[in-house]
């Protein structure tokens, strides 16, 4: 299982990586804005503290397919030889789904994000992304987030899809604990 940190704080990543087996870092536009740093600054700092066996996921900002593709290529272009693998997060909007289909033919790790239901995640998996990020706590706000993610895991297994589920948006350790028991691939 992959343990991923959802943060723009490179010092925290360095500290926690010394203690735990950290597989990588995710960020999103809100986390970056709250950090008071620019996306470029965050990328520079994360690339410095992460290693080649780790992944760094950055989210596209554009909302139209062409813009999303341009953002994805710009994120991938930040890749350096001795740095982490640069990966791209794309929200599951209609324009995002189109971009995922296009990028599935390129050598790029894509994570479909802002997933609020098992079905939304399943459709992104069919479009060829490598990771799915269902928002557990936000789903818990109106239902059972853990159950929905558990359904997604079963649907992928039944369909023979190897897409990894990186559960996100946690507000307590119980949610993480329950999903590890369900065999989750990654948590952030
Ligand atoms: C996932 O990658 C997101 O950054 C994050 O987990 C969203 O969580 P929130 O519900 O706390 O915004």
pLDDT at 46: 98
For ligand 1, say whether the CB of 135 is within 6 Å of any of its atoms.
yes
| β-pair partners for 186 | 2, 166
Give the residue whose CA is nearest to atom 11 of ligand 1.
Answer: 169
* 151: Cβ contacts below 8 Å, ≥ 6 apart: 118
pLDDT at 44: 97
What residue ranges of the chain have pLDDT lower than 70? none
Yes or no: say if 56 and 84 are a contact pair by the CB < 8 Å rule. yes
Exposure b/e, 2-38, CB count within 10 A at least 16 = b: bbbbbbbbbeebeeebeeeebbbbbbbeeebeebebe
pLDDT at 38: 96
Among 130, 122, 109, CA closest to 158: 122
Task: Report which ligand 1 atom has the smallest distance to the Cα of 57.
Answer: 2
For ligand 1, say whether the CB of 26 is within 6 Å of any of its atoms.
yes
For ligand 1, say whether the CB of 163 is within 6 Å of any of its atoms.
no
d(CA 107, CA 78) in angstroms, rounded, equals 15
Distance (Å) of CA 160 to CA 92, 126, 146 = 21, 11, 21
Yes or no: say if 65 and 91 are a contact pair by the CB < 8 Å rule. no
Among 102, 114, 43, CA closest to 68: 102
* 97: Cβ contacts below 8 Å, ≥ 6 apart: 123, 124, 127
Give the residue whose CA is nearest to atom 5 of ligand 1.
Answer: 169
* 119: Cβ contacts below 8 Å, ≥ 6 apart: none
d(CA 103, CA 127) in angstroms, rounded, equals 9
For ligand 1, say whether the CB of 98 is within 6 Å of any of its atoms.
no
Give tens-digit pLDDT for 37-84: 999 999 999 999 999 999 999 999 999 999 999 999 999 999 999 999
- Please report where in the chains the tokens 């997933």 appear, as a residue: 115
Yes or no: say if 16 and 5 are a contact pair by the CB < 8 Å rule. yes
């Amino acid at each position: 299982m992959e343990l991923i940190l959802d943060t723009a704080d490179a010092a925290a990543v360095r500290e926690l990586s010394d203690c735990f087996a950290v597989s990588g870092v995710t960020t999103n536009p809100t986390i970056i804005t709250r950090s008071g740093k620019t996306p470029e600054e965050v990328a520079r700092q994360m690339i410095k503290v992460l290693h080649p066996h780790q992944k760094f996921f950055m989210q596209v900002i554009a909302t139209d397919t062409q813009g999303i593709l341009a953002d994805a290529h710009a994120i991938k272009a930040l890749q350096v030889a001795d740095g982490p693998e640069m990966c791209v997060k794309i929200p599951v909007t209609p324009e995002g789904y189109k971009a995922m289909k296009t990028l599935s033919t390129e050598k790029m790790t894509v994570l479909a994000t802002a997933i609020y239901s098992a079905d939304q995640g399943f459709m992104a998996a069919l479009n060829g992304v490598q990771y799915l990020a269902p928002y557990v706590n936000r789903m818990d706000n109106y239902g059972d987030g853990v159950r929905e993610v558990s359904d997604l895991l079963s649907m992928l297994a039944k369909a023979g899809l190897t897409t990894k589920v990186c559960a996100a948006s946690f507000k307590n350790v119980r949610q993480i604990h329950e999903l590890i028991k369900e065999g989750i691939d990654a948590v952030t």
